[in-house]
Amino acid sequence: MASIPMASNVSELLVIVSLESVFYAATLPARQLLTVESENRDGWQKGLANMSFLTAMGQTAGMGLGTAVVVSLGFGELFLMCGLLCFASAGALSVLAQEPGIMIQRRLVSLERSLGTMMALSDYAGYPRLSPMGAPRGDIRSVLNRSTKFLLVGILCFSLAGSAFYSPLPAYFLRFYPSQAVFFVFFAGSLAGALGYLLVGRVLKNAVSNLLLSSFSRMMVLPLLLLAAIGASPGLAAAALVLAVLEVLWSLFDVSSTFAYLETAKMGRAGFYGALVGLGSAAGGFLGGYFSMEYGFSALFTVCSLLCAVAFLSYVVQYGGKGWWMRQR
């Protein structure tokens, strides 16, 4: 961060920003694993939500602090301050963070999953068409199939849609409102998203239902961003409300998708989630800029809504045959 003002051309700036993105993405699996290894399985969602809440609150506070520093001092001092904060974070982690001696929690989940499969196969062998509750058991392939490909498709599409509509959104709002009002809209949205993590960690604990709810709701809410074009205070209030809802839906997706993936992923694959979300975010940033310039924001919001519909259908296919409405996490 502190080296950004030293960039003398666009190429150097792109290299610095790209390295920053890579380093940030590399921290995601480490944060997730340290969190889950510090909690029992029943506490994974709450632990992940608390971690994300602190991250989001830091980002929200950073928006206000960054604005104050830019207004009073300038961008150079802002980047220098951010670099110093990063060094302070590294120093605090070296003292406070503790590496778990044995990565046991995810191994226990993996063992539990294997035992569950063996028990299901045993039930299938003894009662090939009936479950213990007397309901149709289904084909043996559904017992053996542990693929998460549709879950991954849903995660990718949701992340892609989120980055695509969010990246050019300041330019969209600036067409109707002054910069101070736009800052208020984004600050309020960021704060709502941070508080949403508390809701996910303590109230909404069914991960599969949360994935379905977040994708379906975002599909319906995204077109409402066009209400910002109303102008004056009704449009501004509508923009702030819609963005706040979208931020809460992201919080819902973030915790639930992380939990769903870590619960089912094979050992050594935890970093793939961060890579997938990062890929979706990078591709979404390009898609958002291209569509907004070439076809307008109405077309962009429609495409993002359709991507959320694909995510919803992917989750239905992934979990629909397993009675997701009865699963409690």
In a domain, 113, yes or no: no
In a domain, 107, yes or no: no
In a domain, 304, yes or no: yes
- Give 37's pLDDT tier (boundaries 50, 70, 90): low
With a cut of 50, say whether residue 165 has pLDDT above it.
Answer: yes
With a cut of 90, say whether residue 243 has pLDDT above it.
Answer: yes
CATH code assigned at 155: 1.20.1250.20
User: Looking at residue 325, what is its pLDDT?
Assistant: 41
In a domain, 125, yes or no: no
In a domain, 181, yes or no: yes
Write out the residue range of the structural domain in which residue 26 sits: 11-100+143-326
In a domain, 240, yes or no: yes
What's the total number of domains in the chain?
A: 1
In a domain, 74, yes or no: yes
pTM for this model (two decimals): 0.75
- Quick one: how far is CA 247 from the chain centroid? 10
Query: Can you state the angle between helices 44-72 and 75-96, rounded to 10 degrees?
Result: 150
Give the count of beta carbons closer than 10 Å to the beta carbon of residue 191: 19
In a domain, 105, yes or no: no
CA 257-263-268 angle, 5° bins: 100
With a cut of 90, say whether residue 59 has pLDDT above it.
Answer: no
